[in-house]
Structure 1
């Protein structure tokens, strides 16, 4: 069972909740064993707004995935999005005790750990600390410092920050649904894992994930994450506009958008009309496709311009920040007809639609490689990686615990029961918590 680890990704979206169970096959590709989908009722704009409904939807998705796969789900990796997410850049360094020894993973661990202690604004918490380039002594632009000699290790970090209350609400829903929260991952990062190739990340690429409630952006250059953002509107605002503009109910508006919608208003003739049955014996409504695509076009344009502003802020017009691979569109909203052409027209950058099939095993179902499942596939990948990482981290914590740690008197008085085994799957905790726990374990065992 060791090589064939099974992991779970749970995508709590605004329109749907997806639970995906999978494992890696012998070629390192992901084999999806079970998938469950439920309509998401308690999530607005990527943030949980109704705990009870969200728990029900999660349970529904999980039950479906369990019955398809015959496997009981315990630990999950969950995506987070929403307007409260912001990212910042930060540089930090550590001075190593012994410059004659090569830099090891524990040094990077210590450095990342130090960034996790940054003081945030009240009510905010660090979700990710992502190292960009390292600097060893005075040599800069190092991608991989492990194995090098040096006394001072410095790095630039991309730090992703979110609201504590939103993170805790997600945790609460997961727990109440009877699951363990293994890790929280930023959704655009998960989607990027699933749909971008390494070449694109090297060349420079912007991933735009258009979901129901949010549009997420992740920018890569030289293989490193450079910028992330969550814009608080997505496909649902288009549906709302159709609903208002055509005076029809939401369900009909959604169907109209999917079946006849187009982001490009020029191609429909005035004579193309779709008839919608009226409510309870009222006259049917007739809507011209030209008007429909005008409504959609106006909204989509607004979303793209917002994202393009973020891309400009990152500095893609400078020589150094040029995104050669252009834009990759994914998420359910990327299935809108002629969206790619509109994006190319507004931004002047190349665009393609991103399907998460590159990492999936060859015999996967067709439906799984839909852009709508990009985040779920990315979270599943993250979940499989996490299993490996947890074991590594534990080894590091055990190995590199400073010996000169003083124990508080009151801590000694507490009744420590020696623990024999270290849990292999800790729930998601900050690096710092993991580290302090490792220390406590160490002290317990030492006594």
Structure 2
């Protein structure tokens, strides 16, 4: 029987493109329904598509395989996005008020919009992570409702080269598969492997991939820093291949079978005379392999350490370091981190903390943590039922056989239900925003009345102008009434002096004009 309710996730990795389909249960568990992968080392480098044709072939093959396992067509998929050009940039937006003003949702939205307008030539802001808001000398996560005369929003913008997204869009368009949404791969990985305590106390998540190493730093449940280092476990393979002048396939096998990220120094007088061999022609001394591997691993770890220092959170990561990804399978990788970074708090996260069902075919070695996180982040149904293929999707007799009309009706109802839910959600959000604006406008009008009662017309005018800018139709009559009251305000000494000077200036101008006319007449 075909499955007609599922979420699809696709990760474009440097060694493999992985596709996963699953269904979320009410208890939070994800039921894995289909899984497919294709080697991508000849079309994706450091997480970036460089051969669109071969990427399209892999993508098409994965989608076809998932559809065969599901017995249904795929309309769209969630895509994990990463790569060497992705990194985080901090930005701040400041607002100053003439008087104490209550922070509103509309104000924080306008600040977020201003943040997104920061100049980034040839780059896209993939996601914005609000950090805190500085109110006076105090940092707040949620400033709405607080009165202040100034506010400064702190934002973390995750950016990447524009071509990163453009190439993905092109491949999915040619594969005739819509993109349901982009999920930041390191964020998806964090959702899959980090505990709530680690995210709150502060930790550095290090994803050791084949061609890149991603560092994501969390503190107080907020992403604080993100960087992609263009080095990975493949660099170890290339070093072995280059040093020993052997094929990369043999170098990879030597690495997988014999390499260790850290080896205890031999005791005085001891020598390591062991030789590792694949066959009569391919061998390497243990000491040589140790030197090659540890040098590259140390370089990667030092780059990770530099990113942690650059984030200014190196002394705030109480939960230490969490290592995941395919590179985390190298023996003693955790000890290498401990020794190089002088930290005892190092954990290897191979499996996902997300509850899964039917996941026996997924490797439990850290290589699927990102795709599981992407799948977990997906929300919309990705199924597309094609009535012309109903005979292929359903076979048999009696209850197992569905007519094309029934299939079409099922598809129509499903799409209508999705549209209805989206429309209701949009309407609910719109109504909530409208009510919030009405409430905020009413508060401004109340402040205007208060200042008018105290004859503080300048402050009343400021509040009234803010209310007018909100453009709330329900409050237009009250605004007009207050405008009339403002127009009747008694003239101050300054107003009278201004009128007097304007009058004298007009009279002087009239006199000058008369003299000029008389001179011309003569």
**Partners in 1 of 2:103 and 2:311 — Cα distance?**
35
Higher helix content, 1 or 2: 2
Give the corresponding residue for 1:340: 334
Secondary structure of residue in 2 paired with 1:384: coil
Q: Is the 8 A contact 2:32 2:357 kept in 1?
A: no
Q: Which runs of 5 or more structure 2 residues have no equivalent in the other structure?
A: 383-417, 436-522
Secondary structure of residue in 2 paired with 1:89: strand
Give the corresponding residue for 1:130: 129
Give the corresponding residue for 2:27: 27
Residue 74, structure 1, aligned to residue 69, structure 2: no
**Partners in 2 of 1:227 and 1:270 — Cα distance?**
42
Q: Which moved more, 1:226-235 or 1:246-255?
A: 246-255
Kindly tell me: are residues 331 and 123 of structure 1, through their superposed partners in 2, closer, same or farther at Cα, counting changes over 3 Å? same
Root mean square deviation of aligned Cα = 3.2
**Partners in 1 of 2:251 and 2:288 — Cα distance?**
13
Give 2:290's match in structure 1, choosing from 288, 293, 313: 293
Aligned residues: 385
Deviation at 1:189, TM superposition (A): 1.4
Give 1:357's match in structure 2, choosing from 349, 352, 357: 352
Deviation at 1:216, TM superposition (A): 0.5
**Partners in 2 of 1:357 and 1:385 — Cα distance?**
22
**Partners in 2 of 1:139 and 1:395 — Cα distance?**
38
Q: Which runs of 5 or more structure 1 residues have no equivalent in the other structure?
A: 278-282, 403-447
**Partners in 1 of 2:258 and 2:66 — Cα distance?**
31
Q: What is the 5 A alignment of 1:82-93?
A: 82-92=83-93
Secondary structure of residue in 1 paired with 2:368: helix
Q: Is the 8 A contact 1:187 1:216 kept in 2?
A: no
Deviation at 1:274, TM superposition (A): 3.1
Kindly tell me: are residues 191 and 392 of structure 1, through their superposed partners in 2, closer, same or farther at Cα, counting changes over 3 Å? farther
Q: Is the 8 A contact 1:340 1:351 kept in 2?
A: yes
Give the corresponding residue for 1:371: 366
Give the corresponding residue for 2:218: 220
Give the corresponding residue for 1:422: none
**Partners in 1 of 2:252 and 2:356 — Cα distance?**
32
Q: Is the 8 A contact 1:9 1:77 kept in 2?
A: yes
Q: Is the 8 A contact 1:5 1:384 kept in 2?
A: no
Q: Is the 8 A contact 1:23 1:384 kept in 2?
A: no
Q: Which moved more, 1:358-367 or 1:390-399?
A: 390-399
Q: Is the 8 A contact 1:85 1:163 kept in 2?
A: yes
**Partners in 2 of 1:394 and 1:59 — Cα distance?**
33
Give TM-score, length-normalised by structure 2: 0.67
Q: Is the 8 A contact 1:5 1:24 kept in 2?
A: no
Give the corresponding residue for 1:394: 426
Give the corresponding residue for 1:39: 39
Deviation at 1:395, TM superposition (A): 4.0
Give the corresponding residue for 2:458: none
Deviation at 1:294, TM superposition (A): 2.2
Give the corresponding residue for 1:418: none
Q: Is the 8 A contact 2:326 2:367 kept in 1?
A: yes
Deviation at 1:331, TM superposition (A): 0.8
Give TM-score, length-normalised by structure 1: 0.77
Larger Rg, first or second structure (1 or 2): 2
Deviation at 1:285, TM superposition (A): 2.1
Deviation at 1:182, TM superposition (A): 2.4
